[in-house]
Structure 1
């Protein structure tokens, strides 16, 4: 346990706090996919949120037409002011395509769609739905800094489970890459990106003003891209990080289409685009090797830390992951970030109406014709 303050305000879990916070003025965005349906982790999150009673819960749901109905029925049993935004309906998809906004689908796209709905409230909180240890205190903890003059807050926690260190993409890719970049420049953006103890945490909160100006990455670069914009919108003085204490959620394999290796490409592109946006010109010809050297140094440090705590640690496995992640260290291409809602060519009310019509047709077969705001 420690209480060190760093480059940004750091709120520590010293007394298992559940502080007073404006939960009644906050919308909670809880992205879900078919795999969360009736899952124990998602049930825990929703049950805990019932005790929080936020102003609104928005669930952007990525699911097939066959599954969206049962999923919406399951969500309706919770005592929450909850709205389901079906991200894959034909009307919504067609309209987004007309505006040039459809593109790649992923968590970031889902969260972006939901943010438009959440902006009816003063504050926005974004959570993952696969948290096995979710606590009702999380919403209040993330909101607390916002009620004390901060504009953006980010969760952090130690990923230690089953006597092993997790958080591998952060430990072995993100942090070493930021460190390698910092060796060639002292740009403030790198100080900011390195200030967050767990930059890839899916949990953050923001004021309405910040949330409406975020340009959202479509896929797994969401968390890093959010930090890049938060640096511009809130900066060091307006940002905080909040300890959520014990935290467990699902783990991914390294390989495969949804594995950590594939995720590293989106995370790397988002990170490098963020630093380029803020004036850094990385030396890409040497960066992969400098990243790998930095990551190997981190492995040596983590190995000692794990041994000190009596944890299992596969040093060889971690070196192998570094080799796979090195391929993701490359100049980003094709910036397909979604626009900030402050500048979007489509209104949030249009998204809501189209998604509602799609959901109603999928659930009861009724074709809903509705005049929408264009």
Structure 2
């Protein structure tokens, strides 16, 4: 049995009594409310994963509020999203992140010299969702909208360790086995074929660095499922690129004592997959590029590491050897577990990821600052009622969407 502990607390699944945990969490959440934040594109509503998520969330009596940060192109799309989430028993705020009301509020923030107009995508959605959720919740779980294997045990496991005050935890991150739910194969290519050999190669190259040891302690640092206290949510900067998950861990590293950080096993897990991409500006290659930039920046910022181009040349050589060794190990693991494993394609993907190192390094040298949304405490210093304004905008948008839906239904109903 795996009892191994890391630099951070690792919470294994030894066949725990989830019903007992759920009873405890329901009791705890009465005094310390919880929320779940879901960043989503409208397109996710048309896929089965989000329906499964909504149906399971509706059974979570320990979740007191749901906040959806939605990117929708039209009021009709937004209205469908509002209708989609109406069946949830919890109070649900659907933030139209690119709608007129939210845009105007953020423009007012820009007029006061805090310009967020350059930030887009998941990072902004996460930032908005955490801000609104922190109004009511003491513990906030966040996960993506494309989880195929979603169960109510996911938010249960993420939230419970934070509400049990005896544990003293402020941040809890998921880890799991990425096994394809349809085709039986190992997934998680960026983690397996890029991040794992990269961290090993960086450790060999730079020697002991506490930040690298910290990242290595996470069994799945790229997981998009995590939970944090509302206090922490207000005090961390949110990365706005595809390095969000690793960049968020860097913020946790800067703001939280390591004894207050945990990771928890969610079991076997699957969600929508990205393509590798035809260049380093798209797909998984872009993700690798942003991840490496984030790691290099944090090494300089927190560990005072001075990097040179010679380091990047050596890193590519060390990465190649480590990636080849890991690929052989994955092959053995997959074959024994009767999983599909295209060894040649794994090697090809590794070679593409290796080429990313040079470009990411040049990006870092030309722009080491990175792209992060300022933390909520700074935003609230500029506009103290910003969270309330965003919440009210979501409520008004939803009421308007419902009214339009009623008018539409009356117009098309037979006389």
TM-score exceeds 0.5: yes
Is 1:272 aligned to 2:296, yes or no?
yes
**Structure 1 residues 3-31: Cα deviation after superposition (integer angstroms, max 9, x where no partner):** 22222211111115422334451111011
1:350 to 371, 389, 393: 389
1:77 to 73, 87, 95: 87
Distance 2:324 2:121 in 1: 31
Is 1:281 aligned to 2:306, yes or no?
yes
Aligned-pair CA distance for 1:74: 1.5
Is 1:56 aligned to 2:81, yes or no?
no
User: Number of aligned pairs?
Assistant: 366
1:124 to 136, 140, 147: 140
Q: Are 2:105 and 2:389, in contact at CA under 8 Å, matched by a contact in 1?
A: no
Distance 2:260 2:174 in 1: 15
Which range moves more in the overlay, 303-312 or 325-334? Answer: 325-334
RMSD: 2.2
Q: Which residue is 1:261 aligned to?
A: 285
Which range moves more in the overlay, 348-357 or 248-257? Answer: 348-357
Which range moves more in the overlay, 176-185 or 250-259? Answer: 250-259
Aligned-pair CA distance for 1:197: 0.6
Is 1:199 aligned to 2:228, yes or no?
no
Rg larger in 1 or in 2? 2
Q: Are 1:38 and 1:74, in contact at CA under 8 Å, matched by a contact in 2?
A: no
**Structure 1 residues 180-199: Cα deviation after superposition (integer angstroms, max 9, x where no partner):** 11111211111110001111
Aligned-pair CA distance for 1:266: 2.2
Classify the secondary structure of the residue corresponding to 1:112: helix
**Structure 1 residues 320-373: Cα deviation after superposition (integer angstroms, max 9, x where no partner):** 1122222432233252200111122442223334455555566657xxxxxxxx
Q: Are 1:23 and 1:139, in contact at CA under 8 Å, matched by a contact in 2?
A: no
2:96 to 86, 97, 103: 86
Classify the secondary structure of the residue corresponding to 1:255: coil
Distance 2:92 2:397 in 1: 17
2:193 to 172, 187, 194: 172
Is 1:300 aligned to 2:328, yes or no?
yes
Q: Are 2:194 and 2:288, in contact at CA under 8 Å, matched by a contact in 1?
A: yes
Is 1:13 aligned to 2:41, yes or no?
no
Which range moves more in the overlay, 251-260 or 134-143? Answer: 251-260
Q: Are 2:93 and 2:391, in contact at CA under 8 Å, matched by a contact in 1?
A: no
Structure 2 runs not aligned, ≥5 long: 405-415
Greater fraction of residues in helix: 2
Q: Are 2:175 and 2:223, in contact at CA under 8 Å, matched by a contact in 1?
A: yes
1:157 to 166, 171, 176: 176
Q: Are 2:78 and 2:96, in contact at CA under 8 Å, matched by a contact in 1?
A: yes
Is 1:103 aligned to 2:118, yes or no?
yes
**Structure 1 residues 262-320: Cα deviation after superposition (integer angstroms, max 9, x where no partner):** 22222222232222221233423432333233222211221122222232211221121
Which range moves more in the overlay, 225-234 or 107-116? Answer: 225-234
Distance 1:82 1:225 in 2: 28
Classify the secondary structure of the residue corresponding to 2:270: coil
TM-score normalized by structure 1?
Answer: 0.91
Q: Which residue is 1:42 aligned to?
A: 50
Q: Are 1:155 and 1:244, in contact at CA under 8 Å, matched by a contact in 2?
A: yes
Q: Are 2:184 and 2:339, in contact at CA under 8 Å, matched by a contact in 1?
A: yes
Distance 2:266 2:168 in 1: 20
TM-score normalized by structure 2?
Answer: 0.82
Aligned-pair CA distance for 1:57: 0.6
327 and 112 in structure 1: CA distance in 2 versus 1, 3 angstrom threshold: farther
Structure 1 runs not aligned, ≥5 long: 366-374
178 and 281 in structure 1: CA distance in 2 versus 1, 3 angstrom threshold: farther
